[in-house]
Amino acid sequence: MFASYGLIVHLLVIIAIYGILSLSLNLVLGVTGLFSIAHAAFYGVGAYTSALLTMRGIPWVVAMPAGMVLAGIVAYIIGIPTVRLVGDYLAVVTLGLGEIARAVFRNWISVTRGPMGLPGIPSASIFGFTFGTAEQYLVLAAICLLVVYVICQRLLSSPFGRVLKAIREDQRATLALGKNVDRFKMWSFVIGAAMAGLAGSLFAHYIGFIDPSSFVMWLTFFLFLIIVLGGLGNNLGTVLATVVFVAAREGLRFVGLPDWINPAALQQFVFGMLLVVMTLFKPEGLIPARKVTYRRYRQRVEG
Amino acid sequence: MGIAAQLLVNGLIAGGTYALAAIGYSMVYGALKFINFAHGSIAMVGAYIAFVLFSLGGIPIIPAFLLSMALTALLGVLVERLAYRPLRASPKLASLTTSVAVSFALDASVMMLLGAEIRSFRLPMQRTFQIGPVYLTLVQTVIIACSFAFMFGLYFLLTFTKLGKSIRAIADDLLLAEISGINGNLVIAAVFAIGSALAAAAGVLIGMETNLQPTMGFMITVKAFAAVVLGGLGNVYGAILGGFIIGIVENLGAWYISPVWKDSIAYVILILVLFVRPAGLLGKPEDATVV
Amino acid sequence: MQGNNSGSRDTILEIQDLVAGYGASEVLHGISMDIQVGEIVTMVGANGAGKTTTLRSICGLTNIRGGTVLFKGLKTTGKAPHVMSARGLAFVPQERSIFPSLSVHENLEMGGYRLADDGRFEERVERVYGRFPVLDQRRKQRAGTLSGGERRMLAIGRGLMSNPDLLMLDEPSLGLAPKLVEEVFRHIQEIHEDGTTVFVVEQNARRALSIADRAYVIELGRIRHQGSGQELLQDPEVQRAYLGG
Ligand SMILES: Nc1ncnc2c1ncn2[C@@H]1O[C@H](COP(=O)(O)OP(=O)(O)O)[C@@H](O)[C@H]1O
Ligand SMILES: [Mg+2]
């Protein structure tokens, strides 16, 4: 095996960061059923905010939450006109938000340095302790992942989470129960965005360099694939699928390919086809959520 | 004054191509009530088919253009049959996800087969001529003529032909249309064929005016998408109107604000419109809100 | 007439032990009934009894678990709705029975879609306009702008445009003012007298029974009573439950 110790630690840190991202998208899309395609943008907002603040001397413990809050505020503003509309509008507006965010990262050169990116982002530190090495950073990222996971699990089993699932299953019936559907959708959207902002901050301070190309639509799509395979709405499945996919993606880099094949294109093609096949033949994911879905209920009743 | 007229014409040219692409989006939304994200990538494939036929195959541009529209129509029908029809009864999330995936798979296929580099038709039609204060190239004239011709053809089809009326009927109520004796699957296939052919036309025209890239589909999706929502989801004429508005506003904005924000302007407008009139300019308000 | 494999030459519709529903829920628990060519048959029952589900099952729009539906002697299960329409079955649903964004004339064209090219479209459409003069005055108007009564007439007219062997109407009088209810029933009677076999489902039991040759009473997915329209009108039990007396 040529996979060195350092490489494995690096892989684990990336898995932890992607785990947070996937869990946050799972909350928005998997649990609530909001078709948001701006997740990369919230991730980017968190990363840029946190990076820029620390580069101006503000401690990470303040900068990181600031990134989360800003991502949440952007989600809130986007949510105002859209959460009350049919789901397609959220898709349209979030697609646009993704584009606008990328344009801001690329074009607001006096602040973001545009396509040149931000180098020299300081490491994360808490009260004087700096997470300088990859191992230390892994501990930090893992703790964050654990916290996010616990929050997501709690949300799922709380009354709030049950309303979210009800919205996904049947919005009309949920409305009839007298629930303020729009407010629940908004909260889910904002919390999901803030969590993506956290992942962005972790990423920025780990790599030490960010540029607009880290926050493209393709990333959101990759997360789609993860949560669909993990079983929409299933947090544990989401984390496991993250491990498999991030590892597979990094692994694909080491496969010897003939030079006429563009590895990025191949990866995109394989993952695209995989998602089509999954949705067609196994829509409940590889690890279905452990609740009584309608399909299973029907199977049970019909024998 | 002169510059404003020039910007308006440039906007009309860009808007014509956006409108062509937006029509397919809108028709598919009308028929199946879901947004076909892959539509922009289908337009991209159409552009590349024409490019391969013309630049590599040596077929003259007009037959290459028409052949690309026909082949792309076939691709659209195939995608519907294989990827969307099995999901028609599933939650909408499933079709949306699949269409995003189809889009990525199409982009990647072209990238693998033809490479990621920028291509160009290199048409010998860049001669410029002047009408009043406005300068136009021959390609631009062709773009305007084509987009208006196709739109008029579509209007004729939808208003006067049996197929066109049944397309409108299934957009109103698919089940009732089938009960009335209309073969829904056949009409939906026709919707995909027409939408994809027009998308191919948009792709080729955009390719002629600028250049070709496997990622151009995403740009087309972004613009067409904004046009469709601006005009009112599911309303074909709204989509056309939206396409022209976005083309024009973009060109004005690029000049008077800054060209780097060109691609964002459409969306800022869109979000503002959604605050005020969620159903879009020509849409029915009851279609936009949930339930 | 084709399809006399069931033995009874004049049976246009025959349902045996039909068990059907939606998804996991079973609504019809074994329905048997038949309709003969030239009859006008009604099915009456309370809201939620399964009348609409019966009609939808005949068109193949429900989840059929058991039993058979024979239309002109051929099984209907698994057939697409447009195929049933081509075989001569017309269904006028209770709600969503017109195309709101199409004009009145276009709605009728869609009704006669299959036959639009047989050269006798004009003849059929003029017959519908003759029957429903309100529609004649509104040929170019968008159907979505019609009043409730006009919509009902348009829906029935749409059903007639395919020249059906069996016309099925789901609660055609629902929600209409008494005067319009009378008008709708008069039209149904006339359509029947002009030679179309009619199956009409109603909550308005008194009115429906009075025009029907034969009738079925459905309760919670089961046929409770059957007989001629007059018999059921006289039946004390039916009177108590459905005729308010
Ligand atoms: N699409 C549906 N899905 C599930 N249940 C339904 C559906 N439509 C009707 N039902 C149920 O089936 C039963 C019979 O309904 P229906 O046939 O519409 O009655 P009717 O037409 O006699 O009023 C009712 O209990 C109703 O709740
Ligand atoms: Mg009913």
Q: Cβ distance C1 to A279 under 8 Å?
A: no
pLDDT at A106: 84
Question: How distant, in Å, are the alpha carbons of A39, A298, B82, B83, B92 from that of A284?
Answer: 22, 14, 19, 17, 14
Two tokens, residue B159: 């208003």
When the pLDDT of each residue in chain A is averaged and rounded to a whole number, the result is 80
pLDDT at B287: 57
Beta strands per DSSP E along chain B: 128-131, 134-137
Higher pLDDT, residue B119 or A87: B119
Question: How distant, in Å, are the alpha carbons of A73, A99, B109 from that of A52?
Answer: 18, 21, 38
pLDDT digits 0-9 by tens, A35-59: 888 889 999 999 999 999 988 888 8
When the pLDDT of each residue in chain B is averaged and rounded to a whole number, the result is 88
pLDDT at B34: 84
Task: Work out the number of other CB atoms within 10 angstroms of the CB of residue C48.
Answer: 11
Phi, psi for B235 (deg, rounded to 5): -100, 110
Higher pLDDT, residue A160 or A62: A62
pLDDT at A294 over 50: no
List all residues of chain B from 11 to 30 with a beta carbon under 8 Å from chain A: 29
pLDDT at A303 over 60: no
Q: Cβ distance C180 to C152 under 8 Å?
A: yes
Q: Which residues crowd ion ligand 2, with CB under 5 Å?
A: C 52, 94
Q: Which chains reach chain C with 3 or more Cβ–Cβ distances below 8 angstroms?
A: A, B
What mean pLDDT comes out for the span B162-189? Answer: 93
Higher pLDDT, residue A160 or B42: B42
pLDDT at C116: 57
Asked if B172 lies within 8 A of C158 by C-beta distance, the reply is: no
CA neighbor of A267 nearest in space, from B218, B104, C193: B104
Work out whether the CA dihedral A112, A116, A120, A125 comes out positive or negative.
Answer: positive
Going by alpha carbons, the residue nearest to atom 27 of ligand 1 is C48
Touching check for C61 and chain B: CB below 8 Å? yes
pLDDT digits 0-9 by tens, B265-285: 877 877 788 778 777 788 776
Question: To which H or E segment does residue A208 belong?
Answer: none
Q: How many helices (H) and strands (E) does chain C have?
A: 10, 10
3-state secondary structure of C28: strand
pLDDT at C234: 86
Residues whose CB is less than 8 angstroms from the CB of residue B253 and which lie 6 or more positions away in sequence, other chains included:
B261, B262, B265
pLDDT at B94: 81
pLDDT at B283: 74
Model confidence at C117, in pLDDT bands (50, 70, 90)? low
Complex prediction ipTM: 0.89
In the numeric block, the tokens 């860009």 are attached to: B14
C11 within ligand 1 shell (Cβ under 6 A): no
Exposed/middle/buried for residue C235 (C-beta within 10 Å: 0-12, 13-18, 19+): middle
Query: What's the rounded Cα separation, in Å, for the pair C214 and C198?
Result: 11
Touching check for B250 and chain A: CB below 8 Å? no
Touching check for B275 and chain A: CB below 8 Å? yes
pLDDT above 70 coverage of chain A, percent: 84
Q: Which residues of B110-139 are buried (b: 16+ CB within 10 A; e: fewer)?
A: bbbeeeeeebebebeeeeeeeeeebebbeb
Model confidence at A122, in pLDDT bands (50, 70, 90)? confident
Query: What's the rounded Cα separation, in Å, for the pair A281 and B67?
Result: 34
Ligand sitting nearest the alpha carbon of C171: 2
pLDDT at C153: 94
Model confidence at C28, in pLDDT bands (50, 70, 90)? very high
C93 within ligand 1 shell (Cβ under 6 A): no
Ligand sitting nearest the alpha carbon of C54: 1
Touching check for C23 and chain A: CB below 8 Å? yes
C101 within ligand 1 shell (Cβ under 6 A): no
Model confidence at B1, in pLDDT bands (50, 70, 90)? low
When the pLDDT of each residue in chain C is averaged and rounded to a whole number, the result is 88
Query: Residues B256, B261, B264, B269: what is their CA dihedral angle, to the nearest 10 degrees?
Result: -20
Asked if B271 lies within 8 A of A276 by C-beta distance, the reply is: no
Touching check for A183 and chain B: CB below 8 Å? no
Boundaries of every domain in chain B: 2-287
What mean pLDDT comes out for the span B169-177? Answer: 92
Q: How many helices (H) and strands (E) does chain A have?
A: 13, 2
Query: What's the rounded Cα separation, in Å, for the pair B5 and B2?
Result: 5
C28 within ligand 1 shell (Cβ under 6 A): no
Residues whose CB is less than 8 angstroms from the CB of residue A35 and which lie 6 or more positions away in sequence, other chains included:
A29, A87, A88, A90, A91, A94, B92, B93, B96
pLDDT at A239: 86
- Please tell me which residue of chain B has the smallest CA distance to A95: B222
pLDDT at A172: 65
| The amino acid at C239 | Q
Asked if B165 lies within 8 A of C162 by C-beta distance, the reply is: no
Boundaries of every domain in chain A: 9-216
| The amino acid at A79 | G
Phi, psi for B68 (deg, rounded to 5): -65, -40
Going by alpha carbons, the residue nearest to atom 7 of ligand 1 is C22
Query: What's the rounded Cα separation, in Å, for the pair B165 and A72?
Result: 46
Going by alpha carbons, the residue nearest to atom 3 of ligand 1 is C22
Model confidence at A301, in pLDDT bands (50, 70, 90)? very low
Two tokens, residue A165: 């699932």
Query: What's the rounded Cα separation, in Å, for the pair A82 and A92?
Result: 9
Whole-prediction pTM: 0.87
Q: Cβ distance B100 to A224 under 8 Å?
A: yes
What mean pLDDT comes out for the span C139-158? Answer: 93
Angular region, A218: left φ>0, alpha ψ -120 to 50, beta rest: alpha
pLDDT at A175 over 70: no
pLDDT at A284 over 80: no
Going by alpha carbons, the residue nearest to atom 9 of ligand 1 is C53
Q: Cβ distance B208 to B126 under 8 Å?
A: no
For the domain B2-287, what is the CATH code? 1.10.3470
Q: Which of C25, C58, C62 to mutate to test the pocket of ligand 1 (most atoms within 8 A of CB)?
A: C25
pLDDT at A177: 63
pLDDT digits 0-9 by tens, A201-237: 999 888 888 888 888 777 888 888 888 888 777 888 8
Lowest mean pLDDT among A87-91, B182-186, C93-97, C144-148: A87-91
Question: How distant, in Å, are the alpha carbons of A193, A204, B171 from that of A200?
Answer: 10, 6, 42
Beta strands per DSSP E along A96-199: 125-126, 129-130
pLDDT digits 0-9 by tens, C172-195: 999 899 999 999 999 999 999 999
pLDDT digits 0-9 by tens, B105-159: 999 999 989 988 899 888 776 678 888 888 888 888 888 998 899 899 999 999 9
Closest CA–CA distance from residue B62 to any residue of chain A (Å): 31
Touching check for A82 and chain B: CB below 8 Å? yes
Residue A298: its chain C contacts at CB < 8 A?
23-24
Two tokens, residue C204: 């308005």
Model confidence at B90, in pLDDT bands (50, 70, 90)? confident
Model confidence at C168, in pLDDT bands (50, 70, 90)? very high
Q: Cβ distance B26 to B231 under 8 Å?
A: yes
pLDDT at A255 over 70: no
pLDDT digits 0-9 by tens, B39-74: 999 999 999 999 999 998 989 999 999 999 999 999
Phi, psi for A285 (deg, rounded to 5): 90, 170
Q: Which of C25, C53, C173, C223 to mutate to test the pocket of ligand 1 (most atoms within 8 A of CB)?
A: C53
Touching check for A172 and chain B: CB below 8 Å? yes
pLDDT at B234: 78
